[in-house]
């Protein structure tokens, strides 16, 4: 399908919106994920993103030029592709995208072609964001591969040497761990998740921050080593999500940070599932 494409990744904390043309992601925005957002509010957000892109307020990605982004944003989007892990919001954003494009958007879920061989017992259980991440990561980095998305949950996806999705791990994210400590331990405060001052904290807040952040880095280093051992090879390691930059610098393993993984995956999924017109 020719024309511009809106890619929308709806997460528990953040909604990412991207603008693409001819298979290239040109610009993106991040919005807070509002639990009770209406279709009208989602439409305002999409329209605001396009207006910002026209006015040069959405930074170009990669080799895209500002004038190229502005021209693409001036067109009515031809279609949209959505990945959502928040069922209560899927309808609002899908409805907004349909009103903006005049087309029913592609919503990632069971029945959508992915190009992936799935080793999951029930492929329908795999979150739409995990699918989008995997599709883009395999296309960009090849196989074997470990893809880590650091959001509300930390997800670890494994692609084997033959390019098949072998399965993954799901665990609490950094922010969720910090809030759980404060909620369940009466004398522990809630701390901001950021780079710790030192490996060993010298105050309660420093100790918590060190434990949460360094603990996550150590956990991922350990898992990467175990996964490599189980595969019998050394997979590439790719990090995405809001805490990716924080953790990548603390890992012993070499890791790429890719902030547009899910949006690029949506662009690719759209190409696989929509016939050109």
The CA distance from 33 to 140, in Å, is 27
> Element (H or E) spanning 197, and its range?
none
Q: Where are the beta strands (DSSP E) in the chain?
A: 4-10, 14-21, 24-32, 79-84, 106-107, 145-150, 153-159, 165-172, 236-240, 256-257
The CA distance from 254 to 211, in Å, is 21
Told to judge if 129 belongs to the known catalytic residues of this protein, a careful annotator would answer: yes
Active-site choice (67, 79, 122, 129): 129
- Say which residues have a Cβ less than 8 Å from residue 7's Cβ, sequence separation at least 6: 16, 17, 18, 19, 20, 25, 80, 81, 82, 263, 266, 267, 270
Token pair in block for residue 23: 């298979």
The residues annotated with a catalytic role in the active site are: 129
């Amino acid at each position: 399908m020719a024309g511009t494409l809106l890619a929308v990744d709806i997460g528990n904390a953040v909604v990412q919106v991207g603008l693409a043309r001819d298979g290239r992601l040109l610009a993106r925005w991040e919005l807070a994920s509002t639990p009770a957002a209406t279709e009208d509010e989602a439409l305002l957000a999409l329209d605001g993103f396009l207006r910002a892109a026209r006015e040069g307020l959405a930074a170009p990605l990669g080799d895209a030029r500002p004038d190229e982004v502005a021209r693409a944003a001036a067109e009515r989007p031809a279609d949209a592709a959505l990945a959502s892990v928040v069922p209560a919001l899927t309808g609002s954003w899908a409805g907004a995208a349909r009103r903006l494009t005049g087309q029913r958007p592609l919503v990632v879920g069971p029945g959508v072609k992915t190009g992936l061989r799935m080793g999951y017992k029930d492929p329908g259980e795999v979150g739409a964001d995990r699918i989008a991440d995997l599709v883009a990561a395999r296309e960009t980095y090849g196989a074997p591969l470990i893809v880590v998305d650091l959001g509300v949950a930390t997800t670890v996806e494994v692609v084997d040497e033959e390019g098949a999705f072998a399965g993954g791990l799901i665990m609490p994210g950094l922010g969720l761990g910090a809030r759980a400590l404060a909620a369940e331990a009466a004398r522990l405060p809630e701390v901001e998740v950021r780079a710790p001052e030192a490996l060993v904290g010298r105050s309660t807040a420093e100790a918590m921050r060190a434990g949460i952040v360094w603990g996550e880095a150590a956990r991922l280093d350990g898992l990467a080593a175990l996964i490599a051992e189980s595969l019998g090879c050394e997979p590439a390691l790719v990090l995405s999500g809001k805490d990716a930059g924080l953790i990548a610098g603390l890992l012993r393993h070499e890791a790429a940070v890719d902030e547009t993984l899910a949006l690029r995956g949506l662009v690719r999924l759209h190409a696989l599932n929509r016939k050109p017109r």
